[in-house]
């Protein structure tokens, strides 16, 4: 069944077209930008070492970059410095990873302080997304971390890095995250969002942004081959 063009365009506007593989080259990122423009995605999401990017002046394309990625086990000072450099090099949005161990230990004040440190380097209207690695957390931990993110001034809470062995986004996690943050923040679903149906399900659950590496295949209504381990 052919995907209606208007629906495809609508889904594209939710997508952060993502390339975070360690082996990614400058040429790969240049191709990513070109593909994102052709597809009409909201942004590209890349590693900080790939900045600055060359974006055509007439392109309506945001630049997102990860921070403290993928483990989150970086000192807050380092995360804040990384975020500040990314903003100086042209990033519009920063997707930071929390210290998952702090959350698992119930140290939610430390999680909030970590997010606050990065928020100080990402002043509005720049956007801060907080990756909570939802598959590694209990429901109670998800709620507590989302509350910490909102208290620290985050614009988004985000499910996953796409690299954790516990897995990526689920409809349950997205729904819980959205119910927790309400109108105080937005939700980004990432990790394992590979098909058009996956995308629709995440949006219906409350996601207003999607992290997708196989964007062209998703928008065509197909599941990309070799998807294991993709963002």
Confidence bin at 41 (pLDDT 50/70/90)? very high
Rounded Cα distance, 124 and 104, in Å: 29
Contact yes or no for 89/51 (Cβ under 8 A): yes
Rg (CA), the chain: 16
pLDDT digits (tens, 9 = 90+) for 131-183: 999 999 999 999 999 999 999 999 999 999 999 999 999 999 999 999 999 99
Q: Annotated catalytic sites, by residue?
A: 95, 158, 188
Percent of the chain with pLDDT over 70: 92
| 102-133 pLDDT, tens digit each | 999 999 999 999 999 999 999 999 999 999 99
Q: Nearest-CA neighbor of 136 among 159, 157, 107, 112?
A: 159
76-88 vs 108-119: helix axis angle to the nearest 10?
30
CA 100 to chain centre: 16
Domains of the chain: 5-219 (3.20.20.70)
What is the average pLDDT across 33-38? 98
């Amino acid at each position: 069944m052919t995907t209606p063009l208007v629906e495809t365009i609508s889904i594209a506007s939710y997508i952060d077209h993502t390339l975070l593989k360690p082996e990614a080259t400058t040429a790969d990122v240049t191709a990513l930008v070109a593909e994102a423009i052709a597809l009409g995605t909201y942004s590209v999401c890349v590693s900080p070492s790939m900045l600055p990017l060359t974006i055509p002046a007439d392109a309506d394309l945001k630049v997102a970059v990860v921070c403290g990625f993928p483990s989150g086990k970086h000192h807050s000072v380092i995360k804040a410095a990384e975020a500040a450099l990314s903003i100086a090099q042209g990033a519009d949005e920063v997707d930071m990873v929390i210290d998952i161990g702090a959350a698992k230990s119930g140290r939610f004040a430390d999680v909030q302080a970590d997010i606050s440190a990065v928020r100080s380097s990402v002043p509005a209207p720049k956007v801060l997304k907080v990756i909570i690695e939802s598959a590694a957390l209990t429901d109670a931990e998800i709620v507590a971390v989302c509350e910490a993110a909102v208290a620290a001034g985050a614009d988004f809470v985000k499910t996953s890095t796409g690299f954790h062995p516990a897995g990526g986004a689920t409809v349950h996690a997205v729904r819980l995250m959205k119910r927790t943050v309400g109108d105080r923040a937005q939700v980004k679903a990432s990790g394992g969002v590979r098909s058009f149906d996956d995308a629709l399900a995440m949006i219906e659950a409350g996601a207003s942004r999607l992290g997708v590496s196989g964007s062209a295949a998703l928008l065509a209504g197909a599941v990309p081959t070799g998807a294991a381990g993709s963002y």
